[in-house]
Amino acid sequence: MDELAKLLEKTLHEEIPLTRDIGIEVAHATPQRVRLNAPLSPNINHKCTAFGGSLYAVAVLAGWSMVFTRLHAAGIHAHIVIQDAKIEYLLPVVETINARCELSEDAEFDRCMKLFSRKRRGRIALDVEIITQQGVAVKFCGNYVIHT
C-alpha cells in the first residue's frame, strides 16, 4: 500500500469510526482514482447480500476519499461533508464490496477550489460505482461540500 493510501485509511479509521466497524480498506488512492473495499460479513443482510445501508456508506466514503486525496495533493486542509446524494441499487452484492470513484478531469475540481478560495466553501459532484463480478451493482452520485 502506498503512502497516500495508508494516510487515507488511517484518516478514515480515526475520523469516521464506522469505517473500522464495516471493515473499510483502501485498495487504491490517487488524485485520479480511489478504490475502497469492505468485506461482506460485517455488512450482510437477512438475504445474505450486502445491506443497502452499508453499500450507501461505502459509496459515500469513496467520494469523500476522492475529495480527501485531491485536497491532500493540493496541500489544503479543510472539512469534507456530504450534502446530498442519489443512489441506484442495480444488482445484489454477494462478495466483497468494491467501490470506485474516478475523477480524471481537473476542471470540475478546479471550479470547486476557485469557489473555496473565494468563499471558504466549495462543492463538487462525484460519481461512485460499486462493481461486482456480474457488473455495476450500485451507481451513486454525491454532492460534497468543502469548508473551513
Q: Mean pLDDT score of the chain, rounded to an integer? A: 96
5-64 tens-digit pLDDT = 999 999 999 999 999 999 999 999 999 999 999 999 999 999 999 999 999 999 999 999
**Listed residue (109, 137, 106, 104) closest to 122, CA to CA:** 109
Write down the pTM of the prediction.
0.96
pLDDT score, position 7: 97
CB-count burial class (<10 Å; 0-12, 13-18, 19+) for 41 = exposed
DSSP state of 40: S
Q: Residue 83: pLDDT above 90?
A: yes
The residues near 125 (Cβ < 8 Å, ≥ 6 apart) are 108, 141, 142, 143, 144
pLDDT score, position 1: 66
CB-count burial class (<10 Å; 0-12, 13-18, 19+) for 59 = buried
Rounded Cα gap, residues 101 and 69, in angstroms: 11
Rounded Cα gap, residues 11 and 28, in angstroms: 15
Q: Residue 128: pLDDT above 80?
A: yes
What cell numbers appear for 90 in the block? Answer: 442495480
Hey, what domains does the chain have and what are their CATH numbers?
A: 3-147 (3.10.129.10)
What cell numbers appear for 56 in the block? Answer: 450507501
